[in-house]
Amino acid sequence: MTSEAFRILRAAARVAAPWKNGGGVTREIAASGAASGAFDWRVSLADVTGDGPFSVFPGTDRTLTVVEGAGMDLMVDGEHHIVDEPYWPHDFPGDVETDGRLLAGPVVNLNVMYRRDRTRAQVAVVRGTLRLMAPEGGTALAVALEDGAVIDGTDTVLGRHDAVLLHGRAPCVLRTHGYAALITLTGHGPGSR
């Protein structure tokens, strides 16, 4: 397997962008679309250090997965959602009023956001040997949540929060010693294939 079949996205290369409300920072892993706010989809890691409101993204759905820390109590459109199990993806609309309260100190969340009229996203947390392949016209992204993932047939090792991105149909085999998040993104609606 050649490195042309996939792209490695190293955690060390990501820039932390502070939130407007001062409650944390976001490190973007990958996105499709123009600038922030005009994306078709966006995957990031968020360091949440304080309680407060989530930004509202019209027409967007979200999947939040706690990857470090005790979790959060989310108030989503007036309804409580306790998100306290690590590595358990939690879906909710990104265009309704949402407020987050930390349960017991800071957390790190894997955050997947996608425009519901253009894209669908599926998030699973897995471990072991994974055969990754992007769906036709879509994208597959695997994020190592722990150290020690290896891409078969290469000398490529993924450290904690490193990622591998696939756009084409060539498969990639990832062997993990710990957990990894697998995000599959497919287009639909006007302009999709």
Output the CA torsion 12→111→108→91 (10° steps): -160
Quick one: 59 and 134 in the same domain? no
Q: Which domain holds residue 160?
A: 3-9+118-187
Among 104, 122, 102, 98, smallest CA distance to 112 is for: 122
Quick one: 111 and 19 in the same domain? yes
Quick one: 68 and 135 in the same domain? no
Query: 115-129: buried (b, 16+ CB within 10 Å) or exposed (e) per residue?
Result: beebbbbebebeeee
- Tell which of 57, 85, 115 closes a domain: 115
Quick one: 181 and 145 in the same domain? yes
Query: 87-114: buried (b, 16+ CB within 10 Å) or exposed (e) per residue?
Result: bebbebebeeebebebeeeebbbbbbbb
The total domain count for the chain is 2
Quick one: 124 and 102 in the same domain? no
Measure the CA–CA gap between 56 and 183, rounded to whole angstroms: 22
Q: What is the mean pLDDT of each run of 10 residues along the chain (193 residues)?
A: 73 90 87 74 94 91 96 95 94 95 96 94 94 89 94 91 87 91 79 35
Quick one: 66 and 141 in the same domain? no
Residue 126 within any structural domain of the chain: yes
Report the pLDDT value the prediction gives residue 137, as an integer from 0 to 100: 84
CATH of the domain at 136: 2.60.120.10
Quick one: 125 and 107 in the same domain? no
Report the pLDDT value the prediction gives residue 192, as an integer from 0 to 100: 36
